[in-house]
A and B are shown apart, each in its own frame.
Chain A
Amino acid sequence: MHLGLWVVVLSLFWLLLSGYMQPMLLSFGAISVLLVVLVIKRMANVDQELKQVDFRLSIFRYLPWLLKEIMSSSFHVTKLIWSSPKDLSPTLAKISLKNIPKEKRVLYANSITLTPGTLSLDINKHEITVHALEAASVDELNEGAMERKIAGLWPKKGEEK
């Protein structure tokens, strides 16, 4: 994530938290944002991972879809809880990551965990290990609706072929 974007995000965060528009508090806000950006820069120098966090506003196009997904799978898992929890058939599966660019993989893994019924257990360069309550949810993931949604969120620079 770019430092400039951080400045915008942090300033917005401050203004919404504080809500005071007096010059003194605004200047405190400016100092605070500067301080935090300094810390971000120092941390990035140490661990070299600034680029790993990629955040774009287009993520908001994805959220409604995710919400719908969470809704439907929650209903499903709730039904399982109240009906027959003893005869579940939990499965482990590996989902390929080759269509997901590097910086969106964490979003993908967390989306999988966030939808009840599927849980990302492990993630490496090529695949995510997913634990699912039912085999059907793994098939759904393999069909790739979520994958396509996430991959299509924003084009990667230099990769538009």
Chain B
Amino acid sequence: MAVLIDLVLLSMLAITALRVIFLKDLFAVVMLFGIYSLLSALIFVNLDAVDVAFTEAAVGAGISTVLMLSTLALTGRTEKENKRSSVLPLLVVIATGAALIYGTLDMPPFGAADNPIHQHVAPRYIEESPKEVGLPNLVTSVLASYRGFDTFGETVVVFSAMVGVLSLLGAARRRENSDDAAVIVAGFKGHKVLRVVAKLIIPLIILFALYVQFHGDFGPGGGFQAGVIAAAAFILYALVFSLSHAMQVVSPKFLQLLASLGVLLYASVGIYSMLKGGHFLDYNKLAADPLVGQHFGILIIELGVGIAVFAVMLSIFYAFAHQVERSTIK
């Protein structure tokens, strides 16, 4: 049964991907990408990888659609005709592909039960983590505790993505004279139903994000997903009530502060555990009982991740949307 569902989903995924390649209308491409990420999230669900599906749902279908659309608003909607011959790129791609396939020949067979990863790493996590970390959700134990360094690195990468976008597009500033902003606002003022429904649903989205943040230890979820969902709520507000309104609720400056605060919060847990005589991010030293220490450590670093991701996502959206507004006004 699960295999059948997988096959159907995968073939739908392949058809969507093929259609995306041959479409010239980039708007249609963005729409199909939305479907693509919905499909891949469904495959993750079907494979029982709930946390990954969660992330894909929030990031792939939500934030990336919004960001790609704002990029389209900046760049234009049709793909440029490529006049150059595609023989050389094709050759390069074929050569690289062949090299990669040759490389996989040495790898252990895909999905076989006697692969090294199923011999040492996975069983250890499954058997020892309830004793060592003590969280019901194994994925969170691995991500936040065993792989705490990686997750810290990822958070820093997300942060530097924000720095990159802001330095390319310019940081959005709160506009003082709201005359030109009024032009934009007028466009969506007509959507009364949308405004009322958004008003009703935004608080629920934010609360749901906070629920995801604090229940990452028990079920699917955690800081990353929570940050993205919360950012999506504010993006909805910005889309419906205009960017300048959103910037008055959460200012870009405050977001930049929050983003660095999130990363620092994560790092400070590491440094604190070093001061306590452990290694960097050694949660066992945070409290007298190692399990309690683990629990506290994970809670705080997840909070750091959540804050950082939220602030970064929203800042990037602000930067794009601000640029779009500026380019349409002039």
Contacts and interface: CB of A to CB of B under 8 A. Distances in A.
Interface of A: 1, 6, 10, 13-14, 17-18, 20, 25, 28-29, 32-33, 35-37, 39-40, 42-43, 46-47, 49-50, 52-53, 55, 105-106, 109-110, 120, 122-123
Interface string B185-206: 0000010110111011011101
B214 A28 contact: yes
A36 B206 CA distance: 7
Given A36-B210, A43-B199, A49-B199, 16 more contacts: A1-B200, A6-B203, A13-B207, A13-B208, A14-B211, A32-B207, A32-B210, A36-B203, A37-B203, A42-B249, A43-B245, A43-B249, A47-B245, A49-B195, A53-B199, A106-B197
A109 B193 contact: yes
B101 to A, nearest CB: 46
B227 to A, nearest CB: 14
B249 A18 contact: no
A35 B210 contact: yes
A53 B196 contact: yes
B201 to A, nearest CB: 10
A33 B207 contact: yes
Given A18-B215, A28-B214, A32-B214, A39 B197 contact: no
A17 B215 CA distance: 10
Contacts of B196: 49, 52-53, 106
A110 B193 contact: yes
Interface string B210-229: 11001100100000000000
A115 to B, nearest CB: 15
23 contacts: A10-B204, A13-B207, A13-B208, A14-B207, A17-B211, A18-B214, A20-B215, A32-B207, A32-B210, A36-B207, A39-B249, A43-B199, A43-B202, A43-B249, A46-B245, A46-B248, A49-B195, A49-B196, A49-B199, A52-B196, A52-B199, A53-B199, A55-B200
Interface of B: 190, 192-193, 195-197, 199-200, 202-204, 206-208, 210-211, 214-215, 218, 237, 241, 245, 248-249
A95 to B, nearest CB: 14
A32 B211 contact: yes
B200 A43 contact: no
Query: By CB atoms of chain B within 10 A, which of A13, A42, A47, A50 has the most?
Result: A47
Contacts of A20: 215, 218
B214 A25 contact: yes
Given A53-B196, A109-B193, A39 B214 contact: no
Contact of B249 (A1, A46, A53): A46
B50 to A, nearest CB: 16
A43 B190 CA distance: 19
A35 B195 CA distance: 22
Contacts of A110: 193, 197
A50 B203 CA distance: 12
Nearest to A55: B200
Contacts of B206: 35-36, 39
B204 A13 contact: yes
Contacts of A43: 199, 202, 237, 241, 245, 249
A17 B199 CA distance: 21
A10 B197 contact: no
Contacts of A17: 208, 211
